Amino acid sequence: MPKQESLAAERRRKTIMSVVLAVICIIYVLPVLSVVINSFKVNTFVKTDTFALPTGEMWAGFSNFIKGMTFGNYPFWKSVAFSALITLTSTALILLFTSMAAWYIARVNSLFCKVIYYLCVFSMVVPFQMVMFTLSKTADSLHLNTPWTIPIVYLGFGAGLSIFMFVGFVKSIPLEIEEAASIDGCGPVRTYFSVVFPMLKPTMISVGILEIMWIWNDYLLPYLVLDINEYRTIPIHIQYLKGSYGTVDLGATMALILLSIIPVIVFYLICQKHIIKGVAAGAVKG
């Protein structure tokens, strides 16, 4: 009897947890569902019938998508190209340089490396608002205000989390593997790219996913650094969907928001298992 009561209590606990998690999931999904519904709705009904399904006279079809992509004199495809360029270049720089720095920090046990590591960790808790005005001025002075140079700025802001995760994973790699490569005649550079780099794949994928999701959706940093009349990312392009007297076409805005989040959602759903693997691998030692 006590065993049966214990099993029944365990089932009740699991049922309650499932219900609670389902409610939380619905709460998180509702904003995305609202964007999907309103992207196919006539603009006048977006405010008055926000959560109603786009049926009958509320149905706008794909006109909101066409209107959003053709609004103004700045082409939407150009914003997509700049967002893709900035996201891919920044992520590549972050993955390459922070993984190399993390390997050096983890293997060279010196005071200098410890100071650098803790400074990188500390940078994760510094609010962006504390440095954004100084950053904007510095970026202009160093000519980092173009889509081809802003990845250097992203490298600085993305280094903290990346180095933290990479260091934890590198410490879990047996040192004997690198010593064997050294005995075979590999120098530090060859050891990293031939031995260490392939083993960093789980954390590399995890960090890459997190950085891509952050940079693709980032609005504030490109807005402060880039010349928005010449270079606009997708979030900035959406913000400029205004008509005369500041009126905003919410239907077209929702349509472009949906277009911008679809690639990230698809990418995340495909790679979400790697995030768990990467975080778990990086948490072995730290």
Q: What is the domain-level CATH number for residue 278? A: 1.10.3720.10
Contact of 150 with 226, CB cutoff 8 Å? yes
Question: What's the pLDDT at 80?
Answer: 92
User: Which phi and psi angles does 246 have, rounded to 5°?
Assistant: 75, 10
Give the end of a domain, one of 13, 44, 65: 65
Q: Among all chains, which residue has been given the structure tokens 């960090």?
A: 207
Give 46 or 235, the one with higher predicted confidence.
Answer: 235
Q: What is the largest CA-CA distance in the chain?
A: 76
Q: How far apart are CA 58 and CA 45, in angstroms?
A: 6
Could you say which DSSP state residue 126 is in?
Answer: S
Q: How many domains does the chain have?
A: 2
Highest mean pLDDT among 57-61, 112-116, 177-181 belongs to: 112-116
* 94: its two tokens: 């972050």
Residues 24, 158, single domain; the answer is no
Give the end of a domain, one of 29, 47, 65: 65
As a whole number, mean pLDDT of residues 134-153 equals 89
Compute how many other C-beta atoms are within 10 angstroms of the C-beta atom of residue 232: 24
Structural domain including 57 reads 2-65
Residues 51, 170, single domain; the answer is no
C-alpha count within 13 angstroms, C-beta hemisphere, residue 43: 15
Asked whether the predicted pLDDT for residue 201 surpasses 80, the reply is yes
Asked whether the predicted pLDDT for residue 89 surpasses 90, the reply is yes
Is residue 75 classed as helix, strand or coil in its secondary structure?
coil
Residues 109, 226, single domain; the answer is yes
pTM of the model: 0.84
